[in-house]
């Protein structure tokens, strides 16, 4: 079976990496095409996971609109699909790359497999544009690899045939365990991790922060920064914030939080360095979907700076809390966790146990 793996962003690459290696181990013919929707961040992941793309469309442009990016992906992927003529195209999650590659494959009559299928908020503006990307991909896909019961249930309710839905867990947990195993080897030295060890105090509780969602630009980002400023007055904490390169994030964060006591603003870090930071953190404040999935395996609580989440399992089981961008709510929940959090009673990650890629391979082998 000839399989074309397509992705464009750092999160997709992380979540597709363990599947790529499992496919290779099991003698599938695997071709990789990247759109490079994220360039530098994508390249870091490809290097760490030892993946060399067969096609690199290199579509990233400064200040690119979603419509322009979508048109470029459709046009460029059409040529790749014609040349490769795969039996199955794999896409991941909710990016513009995923939805446009799925559409291009559909136009060519090529079957699509959707990894991390079925997540929903049913609010087309949150997350934007990811919710609609994911729903569109879900309508185009022929095979749906869902991570959880909730995701499976969403697709069934939408009329997707149950015979095309395979519940596997999330491949991000596979990637997380693979990364921890690699960075914890005695002979492994990562320059970024060594640098972080030198600049982060070991005697304080680390609050790790990330943020990049479009819907939080403006007032939401201001509120988050003001909340962090208030929390940073505590002597027992250090806030570590790898600042996203988008000017809508970077400019606001640097203006409000640079040169402040107990706040460490750093450049975006590679995936292994970020996993190390998650391991060392006491709690995490983020609008990232992947972090909501990874943190339960590390025993770290997450404050989700969004009003909705397509990953409700973590919220329902107490691993994460939706706080939106309400300044007082962010402050109060952080303070409460700093004072009272002693670990989770339930240590079972609802998003998987590290066997998602293996489960996908088992299904594919039964197709042959």
Whole-angstrom distance, CA of residue 301 vs CA of residue 337: 8
Report whether CATH 3.40.50.2000 matches the domain 2-170+352-367. Answer: yes
pLDDT at site 186: 84
DSSP E strands, the chain: 2-7, 29-34, 55-56, 88-92, 111-115, 143-146, 165-167, 205-209, 237-242, 263-266, 283-286, 302-304, 320-322
pLDDT at site 247: 79
pLDDT at site 246: 79
pLDDT at site 30: 98
Report whether CATH 3.40.50.2000 matches the domain 189-340. Answer: yes
Instruction: Give residue-wise pLDDT tens across range 291-303.
Output: 999 999 999 999 9
Domain ranges of the chain: 2-170+352-367, 189-340
Whether a cis peptide bond, with omega within 30° of 0, leads into 165 is: no
pLDDT at site 367: 87
pLDDT at site 275: 98
pLDDT at site 216: 73
Q: Which helix (H) or strand (E) holds 15?
A: helix 10-25
Instruction: Tell me the pTM.
Output: 0.93
Which residues of the chain have a pLDDT value below 70?
368
pLDDT at site 250: 87
Cβ atoms of 165 and 347 closer than 8 Å: no
Instruction: Give residue-wise pLDDT tens across range 211-269.
Output: 877 777 788 889 999 999 999 999 999 999 999 877 778 889 999 999 999 999 999 99
Active site residues: 94, 116, 130, 212, 214, 244
> pLDDT above 70 covers what percent of the chain?
100
pLDDT at site 368: 62
């Amino acid at each position: 079976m000839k399989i074309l793996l397509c992705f464009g962003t750092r999160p997709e690459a992380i979540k597709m990496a363990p599947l790529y290696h499992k496919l290779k181990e099991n003698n599938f013919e695997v071709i990789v095409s990247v759109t490079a929707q994220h360039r530098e961040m994508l390249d870091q992941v490809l290097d760490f996971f030892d993946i060399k793309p067969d096609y690199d469309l290199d579509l990233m442009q400064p200040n690119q609109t979603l419509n322009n990016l979508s048109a470029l992906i459709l046009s460029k992927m059409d040529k790749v699909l014609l040349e490769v003529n795969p039996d199955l195209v794999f896409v991941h999650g909710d990016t513009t790359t995923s939805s446009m590659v799925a559409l291009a494959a559909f136009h060519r009559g090529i079957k699509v497999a959707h990894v991390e299928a079925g997540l929903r908020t049913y609010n087309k503006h949150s997350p934007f544009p990811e919710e609609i990307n994911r729903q569109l991909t879900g309508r185009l896909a022929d095979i749906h690899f869902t991570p959880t019961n909730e995701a499976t249930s969403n697709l069934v309710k939408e009329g997707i045939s149950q015979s095309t839905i395979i519940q596997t867990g999330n491949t991000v947990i596979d990637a997380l365990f693979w990364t921890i195993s690699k960075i914890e080897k005695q002979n492994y030295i990562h320059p970024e991790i060594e640098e972080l060890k030198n600049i982060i105090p070991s005697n304080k509780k680390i609050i790790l922060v990330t943020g990049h969602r479009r819907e939080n630009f403006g007032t939401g980002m201001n509120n988050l920064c003001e909340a962090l400023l208030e929390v940073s007055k505590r002597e027992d904490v250090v806030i570590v914030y790898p600042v996203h390169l988008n000017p809508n994030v970077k400019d606001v964060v640097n203006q409000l939080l640079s040169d402040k006591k107990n706040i460490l603003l750093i450049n975006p870090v590679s995936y292994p360095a970020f996993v190390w930071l998650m391991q060392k953190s006491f709690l995490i404040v983020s609008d990232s979907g992947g972090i909501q999935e990874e943190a339960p395996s590390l025993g770290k609580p997450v404050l989700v700076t969004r009003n909705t989440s397509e990953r409700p399992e973590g919220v329902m089981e107490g691993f994460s809390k939706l706080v939106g961008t309400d300044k007082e709510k962010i402050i109060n929940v952080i303070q409460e966790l700093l004072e009272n959090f002693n670990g989770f009673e339930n240590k079972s990650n609802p998003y998987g146990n590290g066997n998602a890629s293996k489960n996908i391979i088992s299904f594919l082998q039964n197709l042959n």
